């Protein structure tokens, strides 16, 4: 039978009277866009018809989704369809469906082309198996974290994560490789692209939707975390966390009460994993885990980690929980259980290789959120902006220092007790471009998670072995092509500047200097970093001057000069004082003279300049 050129126009003369599904069934054997031959109708739903097709130019099978013209007339439905394809094309992640292109047919239909792979969606797996093991659930959920973590980094929120949008395939011999589908109701976090209607904000599956999303608030990354927490809950228990007479009843319960704990329903789930699920399902967004990157690492650790003690433990025997967490292989995660080899229509997926998760280094205690009082549903409706304020206390706090005596104190005798109040010598700058060793650095997945956490917490170059610089160096060593390397390297300068500015504002000048030095060492072209380092050096230098640590101050001033930054008034005065402390009177005179030019009416500078000139004359006479 010869191929029928169709481009959307059906050969059936009665096509106008056909239902959308009947029309979809008649596309068999037709050519779409002069390139894709339709071979089989796989499914038909609210997003149109899904076909097995063949790309005649490349000679390979593909999947073809066509949104019929009757649906494409509706701009909201059409835009949702195109957003799905656009988001997948932009993300290009091995755990997200790969879309090759989109187009419009002559009859007004729109289509997208994807790669075809056989697999089974998680909904079908759960319908068949009811619940799955903790190890397999973590294996699946951690890949979802990877996919959505990348989406969130690019400002894309999924908004409709559920088991039917998570497909499991076998790839390169690895079971349960995740492909996340249907970004059709995704939204963009930036204001220019977030034009989602109030009605569209409510699009999603009620059983998996976060309470604030159901109340009409714009979804954000923690809304996706709530949805994933619900999926995790269902994988581990075989049921949903909330049930009710209808969708409204379910959403009321979500806003008023906490979900039951997983380990109170089933006994073979580690308590630390149950803690994580509870945090994902916290009714209030600010009480949830803050990012997919953090959740991914914590999930992989949870199978071995002990849970934090709770005020009221369930009646489940803790010894049984402990036994459930021990793995005979000694690794963090056992091999995932095989998925049933059943073909399923919703399996249109991207092809990419993924490595199996490896053991996490050390266990980490996951703190479960305290039980909250029931919340009225009205807090969701009236919710505005939820701000989470993190207050970081610096290791140093400097009060008003007394003016030091003009003459240096007499040296301490050998038998004299040392005054404990004597300030310690400040640490000297180190070469922050040299990475330090990282403990248990064998797992690229855990390293990437640690690096993300270090970036979020502003640990750019300190402490050694637990900072972004060192995690990136270790990651490059064991997996040079890991996707996190480029992403984190690009984000590091801005994060470093933010962390350094925060330290400056808190007058932690030494800490700020360390951060800015690190940014300069790793990304020397970063705009503004030299000026910020200069500001930190002046702040630290003033402390050294009060301590009369003249040698350290001289070294710091030398570092300042090498920056090539035009010195301001404070820097010039500090140099005048520092050089005077070292007895380098000509340099002191030059510095004070330059400061006097900036502020000709400053009496203190004039006086200091005169004194330096007098000392210079005295020195020359000698």
Q: What is the mean pLDDT of residues 445-464?
A: 80
pLDDT of residue 340: 35
Q: Is 327 exposed, middle or buried (0-12, 13-18, 19+ CB in 10 A)?
A: middle
pLDDT of residue 16: 54
Higher pLDDT, 594 or 401: 594
**Spatial separation of the C-alpha atoms in residues 155 and 159, rounded to whole Å:** 12
Percent of the chain past pLDDT 90, that is, above it, reads: 34
Higher pLDDT, 502 or 360: 502
What are the residue ranges spanned by the domains of the chain?
4-114, 119-310+317-374
pLDDT of residue 182: 77
- Which H or E run contains 157? strand 156-157
Task: Kindly report the pTM of this predicted structure.
Answer: 0.49
Give the strand order in the sheet containing 4-5.
4-5, 30-32, 36-45, 48-55, 60-67, 110-114, 99-104
Partner residues linked to 38 by β-bridges? 53
Q: How far is CA 320 from CA 23, 326, 334, 367, 455, in A?
A: 57, 10, 18, 20, 37
Asked if omega into 225 is within 30° of 0 (cis), the reply is no
The set of catalytic residues is 160
Maximum separation of any 2 CA atoms in the chain, in Å: 114
pLDDT of residue 407: 42
Strands (DSSP E) found in 261-311 = none
360, 304 in Cβ contact below 8 A? yes
pLDDT of residue 305: 58
Residue 159's contacts (CB-CB under 8 Å, 6 or more residues apart) are 185, 186, 187, 203, 204, 213, 219, 223, 224
Phi, then psi, of 323 in degrees rounded to 5 = -65, -35
Q: What is the mean pLDDT of residues 19-48?
A: 84
- What is the rounded average pLDDT for all residues in the chain? 74
* End-to-end CA gap in the chain: 111
Q: What CATH topology corresponds to 4-114?
A: Phosphorylase Kinase; domain 1 (3.30.200)
Band the pLDDT of 575: cuts 50, 70, 90. Answer: very high
Among 550, 535, 542, which Cα is nearest to 501's? Answer: 535
Band the pLDDT of 411: cuts 50, 70, 90. Answer: very low
CA-angle at 403, arms to 397 and 408, nearest 5°: 110
191-230 confidence digits (pLDDT tens): 333 344 333 333 457 899 999 888 878 889 999 999 999 9
394, 506 in Cβ contact below 8 A? yes
**Spatial separation of the C-alpha atoms in residues 217 and 381, rounded to whole Å:** 8
Band the pLDDT of 374: cuts 50, 70, 90. Answer: very low
pLDDT of residue 142: 95
276, 298 in Cβ contact below 8 A? yes
Q: Is 82 exposed, middle or buried (0-12, 13-18, 19+ CB in 10 A)?
A: middle
Q: What CATH topology corresponds to 119-310+317-374?
A: Transferase(Phosphotransferase); domain 1 (1.10.510)
Band the pLDDT of 25: cuts 50, 70, 90. Answer: confident
- For residue 586, the 8-state DSSP code is H
């Amino acid at each position: 039978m010869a191929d029928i050129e169709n481009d959307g126009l059906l050969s059936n003369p009665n096509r106008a009277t056909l239902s959308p599904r009947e029309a979809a069934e008649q596309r068999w054997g037709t050519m779409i866009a002069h390139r894709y031959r339709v071979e089989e109708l796989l499914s038909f739903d609210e997003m149109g018809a899904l076909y097995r097709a063949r790309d005649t130019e490349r000679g390979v099978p593909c999947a073809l989704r066509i949104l019929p013209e009757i649906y494409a007339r509706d701009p909201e439905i059409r835009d949702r369809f195109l957003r799905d394809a656009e988001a997948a094309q932009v993300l290009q992640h091995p755990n997200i469906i790969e879309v090759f292109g989109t187009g419009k047919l002559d009859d007004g239909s729109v289509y997208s082309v994807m790669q075809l792979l056989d697999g089974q969606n998680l909904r079908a797996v759960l319908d068949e198996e009811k619940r799955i093991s903790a190890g397999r659930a973590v294996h699946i959920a951690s890949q979802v974290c990877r996919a959505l973590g990348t989406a969130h980094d690019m400002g894309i929120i999924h908004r409709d994560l559920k088991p039917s949008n998570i497909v499991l395939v076998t790839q390169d011999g690895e079971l349960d490789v995740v492909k996340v589908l249907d970004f059709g109701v995704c939204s963009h976090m930036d204001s220019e692209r977030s034009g989602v209607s109030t009605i569209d904000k409510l699009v999603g599956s009620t059983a998996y939707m976060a309470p604030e999303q159901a109340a009409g608030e714009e979804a954000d990354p923690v809304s996706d975390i709530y949805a994933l927490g619900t999926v995790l809950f269902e994988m581990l228990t075989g049921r949903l966390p909330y049930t009710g007479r209808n969708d409204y009843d379910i959403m009321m319960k979500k806003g008023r009460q906490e979900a039951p704990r997983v380990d109170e329903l089933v006994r073979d789930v580690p308590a630390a994993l149950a803690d994580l699920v509870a945090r994902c399902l916290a009714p209030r967004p600010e009480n949830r885990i803050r990012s997919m990157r953090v959740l991914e690492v914590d999930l992989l650790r949870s199978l071995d980690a002990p849970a934090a003690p709770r005020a009221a433990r369930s009646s489940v025997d803790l010894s049984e929980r402990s036994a459930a967490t021990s793995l005979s292989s000694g690794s963090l995660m056992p091999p995932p259980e095989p998925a049933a080899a059943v073909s399923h229509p919703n399996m249109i997926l991207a092809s990419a290789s993924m490595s199996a998760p490896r053991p996490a280094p050390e266990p980490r205690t996951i703190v479960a959120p305290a039980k909250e009082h029931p919340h009225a549903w009205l807090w969701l409706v009236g919710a505005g902006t939820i701000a989470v304020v993190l207050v970081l206390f610096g290791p140093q706090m400097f009060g008003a220092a007394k003016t030091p005596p003009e003459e240096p104190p007499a040296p301490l005798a050998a038998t004299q007790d040392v005054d404990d109040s004597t300030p310690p010598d400040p640490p000297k700058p180190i070469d922050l471009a040299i990475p330090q060793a990282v403990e248990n650095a064998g797992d690229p997945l855990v390293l990437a998670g640690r690096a993300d956490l270090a970036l979020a917490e502003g640990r750019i170059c300190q402490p050694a072995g637990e900072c972004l610089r060192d995690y990136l160096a270790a990651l490059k060593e064991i997996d040079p092509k890991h996707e996190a390397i480029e992403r984190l390297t690009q984000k590091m300068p801005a994060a470093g500047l933010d962390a350094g500015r925060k330290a400056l504002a808190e007058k932690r000048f030494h800490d700020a200097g360390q951060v800015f030095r690190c940014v300069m060492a790793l990304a020397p072209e970063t705009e503004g970093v030299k000026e910020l380092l200069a500001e930190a050096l002046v702040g630290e230098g003033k402390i050294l001057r009060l301590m009369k640590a003249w040698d350290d101050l001289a070294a710091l001033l030398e570092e300042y000069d090498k920056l090539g930054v035009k010195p301001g008034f404070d820097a010039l005065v500090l140099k005048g004082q520092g050089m005077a402390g070292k007895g380098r009177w000509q340099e002191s005179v030059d510095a004070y003279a330059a400061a006097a030019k900036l502020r000709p009416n400053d009496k203190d500078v004039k006086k200091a300049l005169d004194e330096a000139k007098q000392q210079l004359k005295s020195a020359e006479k000698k």
